[in-house]
Amino acid sequence: MTLEDCLKQHAQATPHKVAVKSFEEQVTYAELWHRVQHRAAILRQVHTPHTIVAIRTQQSVSFLVQYFALHLMGAVAMPLERDMPQQRFDAISHRYDGFVAPTEVADVLFTTGTTGKSKGVMVSHDTIIAEAENLADAMPFKQDQTFIITGPLNHIGSLSKVFPVIMVGATLHILEGMKDLGAFFSAIHDAPGQVASFMVPASIRMALQLGKRQWTELAHKMAFIETGAAPMAHSDMLELCRVLPHTRLYNTYASTETGMVATYDYNDGETLVGCLGKPMKNSTFFITEQGTVACQGRTLMTGYADEPEMTAQVLRDGTLYTADLARIDEQGRLRLMGRNDDVINIGGYKVAPTEVEDVAMAFDGVKDCICICEVSPVLGNRLKLLVTLDEGTALDKRALARHIASRLETYKVPQLYEAVPAIARTFNGKLNRKHYR
């Protein structure tokens, strides 16, 4: 079975149900399937099966038509960032000229490159179905729900939510990001039934700061909200639980390479920071001798496109080895502690910057932050905290240091503090640590 098989089934069983809404239009399942078939017939005259076809991502029905049509005619879809410069778009597209992907591959999705070179990850049709089953079963997705997507569809965080929506025959509502909070809350209000959404932590924080009243008024319509892609501040988790007391709030462990692996509803009374739950139905994980997460199951990537040596470094014998430091608690839940390549060595002590950042985010007036390593030729490695502040707030370095020292060990307290206009993040909300190295 493929995702397009599911689309065809719903077009026959519920032809008049709304499949996708966007800023420009809405289509039923029958209309969407008709357009996909028509577009696939045109693409067959241009592209050869199993070749990689680069397409610019759009938050639109038209983009999904192109995406499904490429699958239907046997090509491999490679969604790229909408605003990518044409020269880079052409370079990536030409990079795979002549490369024929394995028969089972459906997509090539690019990683964000926050910790190194951006890589093209091959995702199979079976992986798409397995991810759809994982999410539909764990959260769950239901046919009478509307799922709101605000993030770019070239990233696995948002694209993967298309999979269970189409599998169960629900409705997808695509928005142009979170800059227009009014459009987001209107989409919730206007939906005929309950609503779900995927939001990166930065978007959740913004909505909490600027739209708490609207969210509170619409709380009865929210079935669940999933987050991922970056750690979420504990203070934001607690506040969202307060604003949406009856909504399931999921923190998911996933990556482009591993797919959707585990999830945890932190609106459970414990609200455990760094907890990512138990494995979903098509996935398993274990902790290696190095203390990092290794994943197995149907959601793993096929490999990096045309990069066999790079693939062999992380994918061996059906196991995907990550750089994520974690442990498994007594209930079998994954507890993330940061990335191995992000850890900062301070005088022989290992510091996970995410731990410092989480505490700093709970300090009054701090809007965003990042903990980095500053190297001194005399003093060696020192922790430095860069912060952005609420408007009208001045940085009180001593008060912030005391706040952190009251919650963390002495060696985890930064020695240096600086207020900056903005913190570098990727398009999907991750801290761009590579920018500061």
> In the predicted model, what is the mean pLDDT of the chain?
92
The answer on pLDDT for 384 being more than 70 is yes
In this prediction, residues 76-87 reach a mean pLDDT of: 90
Q: Which of 220-224, 305-309, 429-433 has the lowest mean pLDDT?
A: 429-433
DSSP state of 394: P
Q: Rounded distance, CA 194 to CA 201, Å?
A: 22
In this prediction, residues 295-311 reach a mean pLDDT of: 95
| Percent of the chain's residues with pLDDT above 70 | 98
Pairing between β-strand 344-346 and β-strand 349-351 as defined by DSSP bridges: antiparallel
Q: Are 119 and 310 in contact (CB under 8 A)?
A: yes
Per DSSP, the residues of 288-299 read -TTSEEEEEETT
pLDDT band for position 315 (cuts 50, 70, 90): very high
Give residue limits of the domains in the chain: 3-337, 342-436
Question: If we measure between CA atoms, which residue out of 251, 181, 255 comes closest to residue 215?
Answer: 181
Q: Rounded distance, CA 187 to CA 173, Å?
A: 8
At residue 366, the 3 state secondary structure works out as: strand
Higher pLDDT, 28 or 156: 28
CA distances from 51 to 9, 93, 126, 129, 310 (A): 27, 11, 18, 21, 21
266: phi then psi, degrees, rounded to nearest 5: -80, 0
Q: Put residue 318 in one of left, alpha, beta given phi > 0 → left and psi -120 to 50 → alpha.
A: left
Looking up tokens 């459009």 gives 183
The answer on pLDDT for 367 being more than 70 is yes
In this prediction, residues 242-253 reach a mean pLDDT of: 96
Question: If we measure between CA atoms, which residue out of 123, 154, 160, 75 comes closest to residue 302?
Answer: 123
The answer on pLDDT for 385 being more than 80 is yes
Segment holding 120, helix H or strand E: strand 120-124
pLDDT attached to residue 244 = 96
The answer on pLDDT for 435 being more than 90 is no
In this prediction, residues 363-386 reach a mean pLDDT of: 87
Q: Rounded distance, CA 18 to CA 392, Å?
A: 46
The answer on pLDDT for 271 being more than 60 is yes
Question: If we measure between CA atoms, which residue out of 298, 317, 319, 316 comes closest to residue 126?
Answer: 298
Q: How do residues 189-204 score in pLDDT, each as one tens digit?
A: 999 999 999 998 888 9
Class of domain 3-337: alpha beta
Q: How do residues 160-193 score in pLDDT, each as one tens digit?
A: 999 999 999 999 999 988 888 999 999 999 999 9
pLDDT band for position 114 (cuts 50, 70, 90): very low
Question: If we measure between CA atoms, which residue out of 298, 301, 295, 346 comes closest to residue 323?
Answer: 295
Q: Are 82 and 60 in contact (CB under 8 A)?
A: no
In this prediction, residues 101-114 reach a mean pLDDT of: 84
pLDDT band for position 230 (cuts 50, 70, 90): confident
The answer on pLDDT for 113 being more than 60 is no
Segment holding 389, helix H or strand E: strand 380-389
Question: If we measure between CA atoms, which residue out of 69, 134, 81 comes closest to residue 111?
Answer: 81
The answer on pLDDT for 48 being more than 80 is yes
The answer on pLDDT for 115 being more than 50 is no
Q: How far is CA 58 from the centre of its chain?
A: 17
pLDDT attached to residue 428 = 65
The answer on pLDDT for 313 being more than 60 is yes
The answer on pLDDT for 116 being more than 60 is no
Assigned superfamily of 342-436: ANL, C-terminal domain (3.30.300.30)
Query: Best-predicted range by mean pLDDT among 107-116, 117-126, 165-174, 362-371?
Result: 165-174
Name the token pair of 265.
């509803």
DSSP state of 244: S
pLDDT attached to residue 7 = 98
Q: Rounded distance, CA 350 to CA 358, Å?
A: 16
Name the token pair of 344.
């900062």
* Paired strand residues for 171: 146
pLDDT attached to residue 427 = 67
Q: Rounded distance, CA 397 to CA 187, Å?
A: 41
